[in-house]
Amino acid sequence: MATPENKLAFEGGWEYSPAPESTDHIKVAKKYDLFIGGDFVKPESGKYFATVNPATEERLSRVALAGDADVAKAVKAARKAYNGPWSRMKPADRGKYIYRIARIIQERAREFAAIESLDGGKPIREARDVDVPLAAAHFFYYAGWADKLEYAFPGRSVKPMGVAGQIIPWNFPLLMAAWKVAPALACGNTVVLKPAETTPLTAMKLAEVIADAGLPEGVVNVVTGAGDTGASIVSHPGVDKIAFTGSTEVGRIIQKALAGSRKKYTLELGGKAANVIFEDAAMDQAVEGIVNGIFFNQGHVCCAGSRLFVQESVAEQVIRKLKDRMETLIVGDPLDKNTDIGAINSKAQLEKIESYLEIGKQEGGDMYQSSCPVPDKGYWCRPTIFTGVSQSNRVVQEEIFGPVLAIQTFRTFDEAVSKANNTPYGLSGGIWTDKGAKIFRMTQSVRAGVVWANTFNKFDPTSPFGGYKESGVGREGGLHGLDAYLELEA
């Protein structure tokens, strides 16, 4: 066991030379129109808004602002495509189109990764190794389901829902688009997609891919804008299904707005996952798991392991190791391949995170941040932990959506469970132990849709994802994710 005297010498004098990803191979237009009915069309209002690189605060491009009239146009195009070719097409042929999308994303993977990093601030390493390959894999997986749906729901016959309105967040822009679009298309629906206002570029690139793949016009429509555009989709009477990923706050508004309508909905909302470390865990792996759980993607992860529970007997050791490890994390240029923590997605989000840091301190928590230098321009937050906090603290209860970890301790298994479940959220959880029996007991006890054992933040197209309680309704991914886009009939 490592003691303070012989701790791993992370800081052994190594310096990293810059390893920036080049951007000369990517194409970002100065201006993006809406993608409706297979064409790029100007917004009725003529208005555009800027999308900014959060690492430099410089404008990357201008994107059309879709209003009610544009949304109506998109829904109409989607309806036409649904009634026309798409819902009548041979399912295997639908699959072939979706396979094409998967293949083109694979071919253009490097471009997508660079743009994702530029527009959203995430480290290029994560965009390259996680977001983009997973997005392609999602299309590949659901393409295969298109002509196999009858095997997913024995005893029922399946039918598409119609036009799906899909509203996605800014933390995994392309990947969330894939999570939404791929199953919707495989099940025979058509789509009106709205990317987040701070990260619209890869959705527009996806529109290019969809056009290149030769999908019938109107099968996928992309409208850009902020909350008002989303609200317009939600309230449009021509939409049959709403799929939303975002905050619980907005999810509540959407559920309320849909009350009394015939629209179906799935909601992937916030989280405050417990990551539970037992004393018999492999400690160095657990520490890596904690780091991955909360600092992956700047903590902009709805399933982030933002509440850490450590068994008392090992708490001191774990926290020390964690601090040592945090000290090695590089915060900075997202396009640098050595960067561990990129830019906070927007100024507004940085302000929100910083306000929580103040709240945490005011409530009596002990805040610790690594000493990593951060660039002058751009939006940055060092990896942060709070110790000395309790269940009632706001930094323990509320979703911060940043690289901020609240640490508490426990003595017994039952105490860990009751603390882990003391939250309105129920998206995910983590457990670290060498005992298999304890893992299964824990997964049974934690009220959450995904539980990672001796790992964290793993995603796969075959694996369902979604929350209990106020973390949402429905599942995305895997066989169970098909349910969200089908009517089941006798």
Partner 1 sequence: MAAKAERSKERVAVAKTYKIYIDGKFPRTESGRYFTLEDDNGSVIANVCRGSRKDFRNATVAARKAQPGWAGANAYLRGQILYRIAEMLEGRREQFIAELQLQGVARRAAREEVDMSVDRLIYFAGWADKYQQVFSAVNPVASSHFNFSVLEPTGVVSIIAPADSGLLGLISNVAPAIVGGNTCVVLASEAMPLSAVSLAEVLHASDVPAGVVNILTGLRSELTEHFASHMDVNAIVFCDGARKTARTVQELASANIKRVIARADVDWTRESAQHPYLIRDTQEVKTTWHPIGR
Q: Rule CB under 8 A: which residues touch partner 1?
A: 92, 95-96, 99, 137, 140-141, 143-148, 151-152, 413, 436-438, 440-441, 444, 461-462, 478-479
**Which residue pairs from 414-421 have beta carbons closer than 8 angstroms and sit at least 24 positions apart in sequence?**
416/274, 416/276, 416/278, 416/309, 416/311, 416/442, 417/442, 417/445, 417/446, 419/274, 419/309, 419/391, 420/274, 420/276, 420/307, 420/309, 420/445, 420/446, 421/274, 421/445, 421/446, 421/447
Rounded CA-CA distance 179/177 in Å is 5
The pair of three-digit structure tokens given for residue 373, joined into one six-digit string: 């230098």
Of the two residues 106 and 235, which places its CB atom closer to partner 1 in the complex?
A: 106
Residue 84 or 144 with smaller CB distance to partner 1? 144
DSSP code string of 308-375: EEEEHHHHHHHHHHHHHHHHTPPBS-TTBTT-SB---S-HHHHHHHHHHHHHHHHTT-EEEE------
Closest separation between CB of residue 98 and partner 1, Å?
A: 10
**Paired strand residues for 409:** 310
- The alpha carbon torsion through 378, 16, 295, 57 (nearest 10 deg) reads 10
Minimum distance, C-beta of residue 144 to partner 1, in the bound complex (Å): 2
In the bound complex, what is the minimum distance in angstroms from residue 141's beta carbon to partner 1?
6
Q: Do 322 and 8 meet the contact criterion of CB atoms below 8 Å apart?
A: no
Kind and range of the H or E run holding 487: strand 486-489
Contact 466, 244 (CB under 8 A): no
244 vs 278, beta carbon nearer partner 1: 278
Task: Return the SS3 of 271.
Answer: coil
Tell me the DSSP string of 55-98: TTTEEEEEEE---HHHHHHHHHHHHHHIIIIIHHS-HHHHHHHH
- Min separation Cβ 134 and partner 1, Å: 11
For partner 1, the closer of residues 228 and 460 by Cβ is 460
SS3 state at 376? coil
Q: Report the nearest approach of partner 1 to the CB of residue 240 (Å).
A: 26
Determine which one of 268, 399, 470, 476 is catalytic.
268
Q: At its nearest, how many Å lie between partner 1 and the CB of residue 278?
A: 10
Q: Extract the runs of DSSP E, i.e. beta strands, from 143-299.
A: 157-160, 163-167, 190-194, 220-222, 241-245, 264-268, 274-277
Q: Report, in Å, the least distance between residue 232 CB and partner 1.
A: 36
The smaller minimum CB distance to partner 1, of residues 48 and 141, is found at 141
Nearer to partner 1, 9 or 437 (CB): 437
User: How many residues are listed for the chain in this entry?
Assistant: 490
The one catalytic residue among 116, 126, 217, 302: 302
CA distance 299 to 337: 18
In the complex, the smallest distance separating the C-beta of residue 476 from partner 1, rounded to whole angstroms, is 15
What's the distance, Cα to Cα, between the start and end of the chain in Å? 61
Question: Identity (one letter) of the amino acid at 65?
Answer: L
Q: Look up 302 and say whether it is catalytic.
A: yes
Q: Is 381 a catalytic residue?
A: no
Give least dist CB 220 to partner 1, A.
20
Write the burial class of residue 490 (CB in 10 Å: 0-12 exposed, 13-18 middle, 19+ buried): exposed
Catalytic residues: 268, 302
